[in-house]
Amino acid sequence: MHLKEARFKKGITQFDLRILTGIHQSRISYIERGYIIPRDDEKQRIEDALGLRISWNETGKTGNRTIT
């Protein structure tokens, strides 16, 4: 499951995730689309906000990895 799918499943918009994480909405968009690699602290804030553990691949993107 992609990060975007997990966010939709939780009923959270990018703006909501921005408020919950402090990560700018445009950066969240770039992370979801794989244009940028999230920093370790951003990964942790996203996981905490979604209440999910995300299996990030070696480049940091969510790609086709599963969320547990």
Report, as an integer, the average pLDDT of 46-51. Answer: 94
User: Cα–Cα distance between 22 and 9 in angstroms, integer?
Assistant: 20
pLDDT interval class at 62 (50, 70, 90): low
User: Which residues, in sequence order, are bridge partners of residue 54?
Assistant: 67
pTM: 0.78
φ, ψ dihedrals at 63, nearest 5°: 40, -130
- At 6-44, the pLDDT tens digits run 899 999 999 999 999 999 999 999 998 889 989 999 999
Q: How far apart are CA 65 and CA 2, in angstroms?
A: 7
DSSP letter for each residue of the chain = --HHHHHHHHT--HHHHHHHH---HHHHHHHHHTSSPPPHHHHHHHHHHHT--B---TTS--TT--B-
